Structure formats: structure tokens, C-alpha cells
Amino acid sequence: MKLTVILLTVAFLQVQAAGFSQRITFTGKHLPLKQIFDAVEKQTGYVAFYNRDVLQTATPVSISVQDMSLANFLDLVLAREPVTYLIEGKTIYLSKKEFKETPTEIPIPRIDITGVVKNKAGELLPGASVRVIGLGGTTTTPKGTFSIGSVSEGMILQFSMVGFAPIEVVIKRTGDDWNAFPLISNYIRNVIVTKNNGLQLTIILETAISNLNEIVINKGYYTESQKLSTGSTASVDAKTIEKQPVTNVLQALQGRMAGMTIVQSNGFPGSAFTVQVRGVNSMLQNSQPLYIVDGVPFLSDAINAQTGYVINGANGATSPLNSISPSDIESIEVLKDGDATAIYGSRGANGVILITTKKGRIGKTQLDITVNTGMSRVPHMLNTLRTPEYLALRKQGFTNSGLTATVNNAPDLKTWDSTAYTDFQKLLIGNTAKATDANISLSGGDARTNFLLSGTFHHESTVYYMDKFYRRGSMNVSINHRSLDQKLSVGFSAMYLADNNTLALQDLTTLAYQLSPNFPLYNRDGSLYFNTYFSNPLGVMSVTNRNKSSNLNSSLNIRYNLLPGLDLKVMGGFGRADMDQAQLTPRAAQDPTSTTAVSRAAFAYSYTNNYIVEPQISYERALGKGKLSALVGGSWQYRKSRQPYYTIANNFTSDDFIENISSAATVSTYSSSTDYKFVSILGRVNYVYKDRYILNGIFRRDGSSRFGPNNRFGNFGAVGAAWIFSDEKFMAAQHSWLSFGKLRGSFGITGSDNIGNYQYLDSYSSTTYNYNGYTGLVPSRIANSDYKWEQTQKIEIAMELGFLKDRIRFTPAYYNNQTGNQLVSYTISTQSGFASYQANLPAKVQNSGLEFTLNTSNIQKKNFSWTSNFNISFNRNKLKSFPNIKKTSYYSTYVVGNPISSIYTYKYAGYDSTTGLPKVEDLDKNGTISFGLYPLGLGDRYFFGTQYPKYTGGFSNTITYKQFTLDFMFQFVKQIGTDILSNSLYPPGYIYNLSEDALAKYLADGPPDQRNVRANYSTAVGNYMSSDRIRVDASFIRLKNVAFSYELPIRMARQMHITAARIYVQGQNLLTFTSYKGYDPESQGLTLPPLRTFTAGLKLSL
């Protein structure tokens, strides 16, 4: 620690010395150096110190500068002198420079360049960045002009602006004439030289969308142009997100990125999502990627799941990304391969998702107002049996099972009204949920300072019949400032969101489907009816489940340009997420005759504070015929999670006092804490040679508190290379059709510390129970101090191709990821006292696959355009090796060579003509049907396939005609699913209702006399339910999103004194083409499916 303090002090002292904002304004011709240093002393107070002989060989200098920093001034003055300097304190030490060759007599010719930057429509662009690569730069004036001095031949100027494709221009000299050429020949029309003498340029920037070649991509610690990137990333921008009526941004990403599988687990707001980037690497089956919001790592597990006890409502674990309003997001980048993810080292194995929030825009202050309203419904219901058919089936079941129906085992036949019928699907989940959204944002600024203020509000109700809602409000602030000399820039952004989720405790879809159609909701006296087979849905609904959460995410970025090309950056971030929960179960919601029917309440509060500091030095310069960039940085993160209380209170004096803990007869309170610290150093070196050959190297060393004291640190890294072969001379002839061609590859090692905290800690935990007067302590876990980092080796080879002036862009990629040293919760026989402990497995899991992305600009006319994006990904997962598996607890569950999430099922073998029940094959011919795996010789279940999709993808289109824009997007998934029939282990004829489709399928597999309809559990039917007969194709093609909008013509808008106006209608999950016969092939089973949503809205810019 001391060392750090000293070094930091040293570092800051250095910064202060060099960065002392001493400016020099100086003009003179043929002046001796001594005279110049005298002037420096006068203007800055810095004294030059040197031996007499040092300046003897110096030549007089002509120079003219205005308000230049001391260091730059000295660099310029001494550039061609045999003298070098060092600044310490307020002293400039001069010494002789060691020359390796004689300095050229002729000074290098230099030129001042001026010009303007415009967009394609000819409008001037203020605030565009103009940089000399390796030396730094400026921004365009409010009139779009720029001037840059002292440029020599071969230097590269880069023009860039948010939303536009950057253009790089190389400066050439022929005699007295100067010229400028774009580095990429496609831009030849975008660089217009208006005057050769004293070079004057007009640069025309094109919007990034129309020129995918030059998108600048965010890679977290650095950015680079897509063209020069050696790694694999995918991105989605605000435009795509805002077209979709979603509450969680992950919904807007479904089907839009190659290599990314996103599955929504249910249709509730706040529902959890399973996100996989290129498959599942870990045998823990945990594929959570790392989320980074504006540089600050974001929680990937629910806020309330960070520590202590978790209260979950119907939506399951709340996705923390629900705490970011989609309208606040500028862009999302997904880093996939080793090259892109290695900069995140130990946490990059499962991919990295970078979320950038909106920032202020340069230009006139603009007020944007968006309001929309919409409604959602369950897309389709299932055709469950009506009362007469249902009761007939039940009677048949009792006959076939040889049982007598009694009031106990058949209340539906004996007690309930046999003529009653309730359509429980319609009642419980058949309503229309309404949603309202409003967003207001104010943004503006100039080249030096800009800001954004935005607020959003969202309210939605549910498809339930009771008044439950989800409500969210958020605020986003972003301020950026640059000093006059452009050296210091400071950016601050903060996002705060608060929501209130009062959704039901329990998903009612199961009840809606399974309740007997004649189930009485009420007793004759009007009170709720209860029995042991079903919970009364009205009782369930009267349980209050209330989650209030808030989330603050803020980051401060300070960047200082120390020397030309050398930047010092510090990022500090603070985040706080909390969740306040209450679950109230009044006595009235429960069976009054049950002893456990007392009013109960659970209250919990959890919060997580996240601190991060990341210093970084980056350096960029021209080197030889290329460009070198390097960065070195450090990172320290501290996540502090607390659950101050989790209180269960029982037996309140009355339901009226259910929130008053002191009215409860028994109260127990628990509290818990979890700390997590993470420290790293990281570095990157990138060299671009002749703009065609790129080499990228990344290193990171991470330490994590999740590991035992002996194994805390791990090393990670990657090497990537790319070759833009289309820029080679020999390809010039092909440019008519092949406009761009790049071959890239990378190899990297990343890791994962996605495991629980404290697993190495040998400790006892306190319990609230006591025995003989002593409060209890129990062993917390089987501690293991020896487990080590899991490592994923990633290999990728890809091509990036552009055809016909990039109107067609095609990117095929192949990857192979191997994860070894698997860090798992190692299953052990319960005889050891615990079911598992943290340990490494020698197993290797491989994910390999192909990804294809195709972007086409089909029609590009003045009034009509049509662009399409298509992506498809194939991932194959397998357990590549597992030495000595036979000696581990995994010997019976995994087969080497098969996917880690394999489907093993019995082989359906028709029905038994004597019993009328379904049969499954005794594959191992041992006379009994046993559950073990046939490929391992342990039983009769064979390998049927995998739960992972075979391929996934999406196809999106944007069609613009004059002021109208139509977007539509199809998502498709090829996968195996489970028939809805198997949602009950009991055969049809048992008390659960089911759909006509499910019943028909079941009856078709039995004898004509339907003896397989039974009123009780049967092993034969149980086996059938785990057989290949219930595995069905759950593939689907979904019209995921349609958005239609009309933009007011600019002329009309001006007349109305507004900048722009747009009205739109949007739809989500509109149509699904599938042979799956349940609610939804994505969520499957008996959960509330993703809802079909329509919204209409208006966006006004003032």
C-alpha cells in the first residue's frame, strides 16, 4: 500500500510539473536559444539551467506561437537542435542530445491547413474533431471551420464526429503544392482540396449508418475504428432501441446480434433474462456476461441477490438491467472474441456488454419530448378442456385406475358444481395491460462544453385482473467540458432510476391452465374457497409483493493531454443500487382452517455500493509508416453489498396491522454482508502499419477477493492481427466489386470469477435458533482454499467484406472457445454433509461456431431507400474432455463429447397392450427401466440432443419513403423444446386440466379404449413424460418488431417553429410462426409468455 502512495505521489508531482498551465506567446526570427529561454523565464517563471557548451552548437531559431504550453513550445524550439530538456520543479535542465546521425540541414517543410467540415447535405458541422494523429488536435468552430498549423508531409489528419464516419487524410507534397488524400479510396469525393497553396480543405462527413466501414467502436478502455479492429464486436445504437416498446433493453437486442442468445424467462416487467455470448462456457451453466455502464461494472445478478435472503415475486430474479431506462442508452456494444474481451481479463470469458448512455450534443439547445402509450396482451391462449369434457376425462381416469372417487381424492367430481365453468385463462391472464411512457430531454452545448438532462417516466399495468402495476422514473445527466487549450477534458455522467414493482407474488399462468374448470373460487358465504390441490388464485393475488428499487450509476472521467500523443486519464465511478421489498400475506388470503394460516410478512432491504477507480495512460504516435497506440492502466473495484435486515414477522394481531412489525407475535431478523474487491493492471499495444496491417496485443493481470489467499491473481491476454487486403495494390483492379476486404484473427485467454464470494473461508455462520440458551453457529460451507481461476482460450478467424461500394457487407466468422480448469460448485454426495463445494474440475468445455452477418443497402434512391441486416449464428457446445471423470461425482451425469446441457430421454416404445399404458425402451436390456444414462451403461436414457439452440438469428429491414419509415424485424431460433403435456408428471385424468392439443397427443399414444387416462401417478406415465415423445420442435420465427413512423418535413417543422416532429406506431412480438403447441416457444412451459405489445407515440424536438 505504501508503495502505491509513494508512486502515486510521484506520478502526480510529475503531472503537475509538466502540466503547469504556463502558456507562451512568442514571435521571433533567427534568435539564439538563450534569448528564447530568457523570454520563457519572463513569461512563465521557469528558469533554464545548462552548461555553457550545451548551446554552443545550437542554431538560431525562427518561431511564432500563440498561447502554447511550455512543453509543446520547448519541443518545437528544440526539435531540430542538438539539445534536450528536462523540467523539474520550476527549472528547465538543458543537456546535449546524443545524435546518431547528422541532422538534416534543410528544415522540414511545414504548412498550415485550414478548411471546413460539412455533412452530406452541405450543412456546416461545428464541434467536429480534427486531429493530427499522434500530435493532438482541435475542433471545428461554430461555423464549421478549422485551422491546424505546422503539418508536415506524411502526417495523418483525422476528422470525426459522433454519428459520422471518421475520415483520415494523409498530407502529401509535390514541389510547392500540397495535397490531401483520403486513406480509404472510397472517400475520394469527401475530401475536396480547394487551394493547394497553404492547403485549404473541405471535408464532407457521412453519417455513420450509411457507411458502416468507419464506425468507431467502443472497446471499454479504448476506442478504435471498426475498419482497423482486430477483434469481434457487435453493436446496437439508440435508433434501433427507440423503435422498440420495451422496458428492458435486453428485449431490444433479441435477434439483432450474431453470437448472442437472449431468452426472456417470462412476460413480467423486470423478468430475468438468460444471456449467452457464444454459448455456455462453464459447467456451472452460468453464462452471465460482464456488464459495463459508462466504464463502471454493473451488477449482473439481481440487486437483492447480492447478499442474504432473496424475496422473489412472479417475475423471478429481477434483471438489474431493468434499472436502466432504454431511452437513456446511446449504444450497446458486445465484445465477443479473445482480442476484444481480454482487456477485461478475468471477467471477459462470457463476453462483455458495454452500455454507453446518452451524452450532450453540440449545437443549439434542443428539447426533445417523447410520449407514447400502448397496450399488451398474452398473444394466444390454449384450448383447455371445458367442464363436461374435463369431468368425463376424470371419471374415465378413476375407472381406469380402479379407484373410487371420494371427496378427498376427487373434489371436482364429488364436491364442486359439475355444471360450473370458468375460463381461468381469460380471468387470470386474459386482460389488457396498459403502458404509458414519457421522456423529456434537454441537450446542447458548444465545442468545449455540452450537457444533457433527461427524465423518463414509465407506467404499466398487468394482464391480471387485479390492480397491479410497474412504475419507473429515471433521470440522466451528462456534462462534458474541455479546457480552452483542449488539454484537459472532464466528463461526468449520472443516471438515477427508481422503480416500484407491485406485480404478483406468483405467476398465475400455471393455475390459469391447470385449475379444474369447475373449481369454485368462493364458498357459499362469499369467503374464498380453499382445498389442498390448488391454491385459490384470488388468495394468491391478495398477497402483496412490493419491490422498490433504485439505482444510481455515476462516473467521472478526467483526461489530460500531457504531451502530444500522451494522455493521462482517470475514471472514477460510484454506483448504488438498492431494493426495498415487502411481501405481505394476510390471513384472509389463506385457508383459515390451516394451522399455518397466520398473517405473515417479510421485509427486506438490500443495497450494493460499487466504487471503481481506473487510472490510465495512453500514448499514440506515428512510427515508421504506421501508427502506434499503447495504453497502460490500473483498476480497483470495491463492491459492498449489505442486507441490513431481512425480517419475517408472523401472526399479526390483525391483517390491518400487517406492516406494523410490533403487532406480530413472532419476529426474526437476519442480516448479512458481502464484500468483493478486484484489482488489475492492464495494457494494450496496437500497431497499424500502412493502414493495412494491424497487430494488437493485450495483457491483464487480475486479483479477485473471491479466491483464497494463495490463488488470488491470474494473468490474461490476447493477440490479434488483421490484414486489409483490399487496400493492397494487387487488389486495385477488383475495387469495382470488392470495396473492402479484411482478414482478421485472434487468440486470447480470458477468465471468469463468476462464483460466489467467500467460498475459501472456513467459517461458522450465526443462526437465529438457539439451544439451551446459546444462539447457534453452524459451519458455513465446506471451505476450499485451493481453487484457481477458470480459463477460456478463445480463437477467432473472420473476414470482413464489402461489395459494390460497401452496399453489401458480409462478415463470416469462425470461433473456437475452450474453457478449462472449470470452476464449479462441485457436486458431492450428501453423505459429506453438504451437497457441493467450490472446486476446479479438470474438464474442458468447448464452444465453437460460425457467425454470419450480412448488411445490405438494397435500394438507395433520393426518396426511397431500403436496407437490410441479417445475422445467423451456429454454436456447438461440447464437453471436450474430462480426465478421470469416473472418479468424480460427475461420472453419472456427463458424457464426454456431448454438450454440457444435453437432453437424455427414454426412447418411447408404443404402449403396453395389457395395461394400456405407454412404454419406453429398455435400451440396456437389463429387464428394468432405469433413469441412468445409456451411453454410460448406467440406464436407459439415450442422448437425444441439446437444450441449446442449433442456430439463432434475425433479419431486420428499414424502408424509407419520403417522410415515412417502416422497420420490421424477424427473429428466428431453431431448438428442441418440451411439450406442454409434460408440465404435470401426472397423466391426463388427474385433477389438473390441460389443453385439447396436449390431450390429443397423449391419447394418440395409447390404446383406442384410452386406458392410459388415469387418476393417479403411474411410473409408466412418468417415464413417458421423460421420453423422446414429449420432446418437440420449439423452433420459431417471430415478427419481433414493427415500427412505422412519419417524420414532419423540415420545411413544415420550421413553419411550426419546431426542429422536428415524428409520430409513430410500434409493435412487439406481433406474430410467431411455430409448431410448438404451448403458450410460447421462447419462454416455454407454464409461465406468462412475452406479451404482444402495441404502442403509438409522438416525438417532438424543439
Partner 1 sequence: MTTTMFKYIIVGMLVAASFASCEKMIEIPAPISETSSERVFSSDKLALSALSGAMSSTTSSQAFAINLTIVNGMAADELLYAANTNYDEVATNTYLPLSAASGTSLINSLWSDIYAAIYRFNSVIEGVTASAALKDSLKTQLIGNAKFMRGLCYFYLVNLYKEVPLVLQTDVNVTSLQPKNTTAEIYTQIIADLTAAKEVLPADFTSQSGSRTVITKWAASALLARVYLYTAQWQLAKDEATNVIDNNAGLFSIGTLSNISVKNNTEAILQFGSYLSATSGYTYMGLALAASYTQYTITDTLRHSFDAADLRAQQWYRTLDYFNVITYQPYKYQNNTTGTTRLEAPTVLRLAEQYLIRSEASLHLQLTDAARTDLNIVRVRAGLGASTSTDAATLALELESERQHELFCEYGHRWFDLRRTGRINAVLGGLKSTWTAKAAYFPLPQTAINANPNLVQNPDYN
Give the one residue of 829, 1004, 1008, 1051 binding partner 1; rule: CB under 8 A. Answer: 829
Please, how many CA atoms are within 13 Å of residue 425, restricted to the half-sphere of its CB? Answer: 20
**What would you report as the CA-atom Rg of the chain, rounded to the nearest whole angstrom?**
34
Give the one residue of 421, 465, 492, 636 binding partner 1; rule: CB under 8 A. Answer: 636
Shortest Å, Cβ 770 to partner 1: 6
Give the one residue of 66, 432, 651, 1055 binding partner 1; rule: CB under 8 A. Answer: 651
Residue 448: other Cβ atoms inside 10 A: 15
Stretch that binds partner 1, among 185-193, 782-790, 859-867, 898-906 (CB under 8 A): 782-790
Nearer to partner 1, 595 or 662 (CB): 595
Q: Report the site for partner 1 in 912-971 (rule: CB under 8 A).
A: 930-931
DSSP string, 109-136: PEEEEEEEEEETTS-B-TT-EEEETTTE
Handedness of CA 834, 835, 837, 839 (dihedral sign): positive
Stretch that binds partner 1, among 7-15, 130-138, 163-171, 256-264 (CB under 8 A): 7-15
Please report whether residue 679 would count as binding partner 1 according to CB under 8 A: yes
Q: How many residues bind partner 1 (CB under 8 A)?
A: 113
Stretch that binds partner 1, among 543-551, 719-727, 763-771, 1047-1055 (CB under 8 A): 763-771
Stretch that binds partner 1, among 376-384, 431-439, 738-746, 778-786 (CB under 8 A): 778-786
Task: Name the helix (H) or strand (E) containing 411.
Answer: helix 411-414
Q: Report the site for partner 1 in 248-267 (rule: CB under 8 A).
A: none
Give the one residue of 104, 174, 404, 593 binding partner 1; rule: CB under 8 A. Answer: 593
Q: Report the site for partner 1 in 616-635 (rule: CB under 8 A).
A: 617, 619, 630, 632-635
Q: Rounded to an integer, what distance in angstroms lies between the CA atom of residue 622 and that of residue 620?
A: 7
Longest dimension (CA), the chain: 117
Shortest Å, Cβ 703 to partner 1: 5
Give the one residue of 102, 197, 404, 770 binding partner 1; rule: CB under 8 A. Answer: 770
Q: Report the site for partner 1 in 969-1008 (rule: CB under 8 A).
A: 985
Do 554 and 492 form a contact (C-beta atoms < 8 A)? yes
Distance between terminal CA atoms of the chain?
53
Place of cell 533567427: 30
Of 305, 251, 266, 267, which Cα lies nearest the Cα of 549? 305
Shortest Å, Cβ 454 to partner 1: 35
Nearer to partner 1, 77 or 262 (CB): 77
Contacts of 327 (CB under 8 A, 6+ apart): 241, 242, 370, 437, 439, 454, 456
Q: Rounded to an integer, what distance in angstroms lies between the CA atom of residue 253 and that of residue 191?
A: 36
DSSP string, 955-1018: EEEEEEETTEEEEEEEEEEE-EEE-GGGGSSSPBTBS---BHHHHHHHHHTS-TT-TT--SS--
Stretch that binds partner 1, among 259-267, 385-393, 834-842, 998-1006 (CB under 8 A): 834-842
Shortest Å, Cβ 675 to partner 1: 4
Give the one residue of 611, 670, 687, 1094 binding partner 1; rule: CB under 8 A. Answer: 670
Place of cell 466489386: 737
Rounded to 5°, angle at Cα 968 from 964 and 973: 175
Please report whether residue 51 would count as binding partner 1 according to CB under 8 A: no
> 1028-1052: string of b/e by CB count within 10 Å (b at 16+)?
bbbbbebbbbbbbbbbbbebbeeee
Q: Report the site for partner 1 in 867-896 (rule: CB under 8 A).
A: 886-889, 891-893
Contacts of 277 (CB under 8 A, 6+ apart): 259, 260, 287, 289, 334, 336, 350, 351, 353
Q: Report the site for partner 1 in 278-337 (rule: CB under 8 A).
A: 307
Amino acid identity for residue 468 in this structure:
K
Give the one residue of 766, 858, 860, 1075 binding partner 1; rule: CB under 8 A. Answer: 766
Please, how many CA atoms are within 13 Å of residue 652, restricted to the half-sphere of its CB? Answer: 21
Please report whether residue 682 would count as binding partner 1 according to CB under 8 A: yes
Nearer to partner 1, 71 or 299 (CB): 71
Q: Report the site for partner 1 in 522-581 (rule: CB under 8 A).
A: 532-533, 562-563, 566, 568
Do 641 and 608 form a contact (C-beta atoms < 8 A)? yes
Shortest Å, Cβ 516 to partner 1: 14
Rounded to 5°, angle at Cα 727 from 721 and 729: 120
Please report whether residue 82 would count as binding partner 1 according to CB under 8 A: no
Nearer to partner 1, 134 or 1078 (CB): 134
Q: Rounded to an integer, what distance in angstroms lies between the CA atom of residue 910 and that of residue 97?
A: 92
Q: Rounded to an integer, what distance in angstroms lies between the CA atom of residue 600 and that of residue 653?
A: 11
Nearer to partner 1, 56 or 830 (CB): 830
Please report whether residue 657 would count as binding partner 1 according to CB under 8 A: no
Shortest Å, Cβ 615 to partner 1: 7
Shortest Å, Cβ 281 to partner 1: 23
Give the one residue of 665, 1052, 1056, 1102 binding partner 1; rule: CB under 8 A. Answer: 665
Q: Rounded to an integer, what distance in angstroms lies between the CA atom of residue 639 and that of residue 299?
A: 10
Q: Report the site for partner 1 in 467-496 (rule: CB under 8 A).
A: none
Shortest Å, Cβ 611 to partner 1: 12
Nearer to partner 1, 43 or 671 (CB): 671
Nearer to partner 1, 185 or 832 (CB): 832
Shortest Å, Cβ 1069 to partner 1: 33
Stretch that binds partner 1, among 170-178, 184-192, 467-475, 780-788 (CB under 8 A): 780-788
Contacts of 801 (CB under 8 A, 6+ apart): 738, 740, 741, 742, 809, 810, 811
925 backbone φψ class: left, alpha, beta (φ>0; ψ -120 to 50): left
Nearer to partner 1, 107 or 142 (CB): 107
Nearer to partner 1, 14 or 865 (CB): 14
Q: Residue 1000, class by beta-carbon neighbours within 10 Å (0-12 exposed, 13-18 middle, 19+ buried)?
A: exposed
Rounded to 5°, angle at Cα 1004 from 1002 and 1006: 80
E strands, 828-863, are 836-841, 844-860
Nearer to partner 1, 730 or 771 (CB): 771
Q: Rounded to an integer, what distance in angstroms lies between the CA atom of residue 22 and that of residue 173?
A: 34
Nearer to partner 1, 420 or 966 (CB): 420
Nearer to partner 1, 731 or 777 (CB): 777
Shortest Å, Cβ 1086 to partner 1: 17
Give the one residue of 174, 467, 1019, 1051 binding partner 1; rule: CB under 8 A. Answer: 1019
Q: Which three cell numbers stand for residue 836?
A: 457441493
Stretch that binds partner 1, among 30-38, 100-108, 593-601, 799-807 (CB under 8 A): 593-601
- Window 695-724: contact mask with partner 1 (x via CB under 8 A): ------xxxxx---x--xx-----------
Place of cell 502530444: 564
Give the one residue of 441, 680, 811, 819 binding partner 1; rule: CB under 8 A. Answer: 680
Residue 572, beta-bridge partner list: 556, 613
Shortest Å, Cβ 372 to partner 1: 45
Shortest Å, Cβ 21 to partner 1: 18
Residue 329: other Cβ atoms inside 10 A: 22
Nearer to partner 1, 174 or 770 (CB): 770
Task: Please state whether beta strands 91-96 and 47-49 pair in parallel, antiparallel, or not at all (unpaired).
Answer: parallel
Nearer to partner 1, 120 or 886 (CB): 886
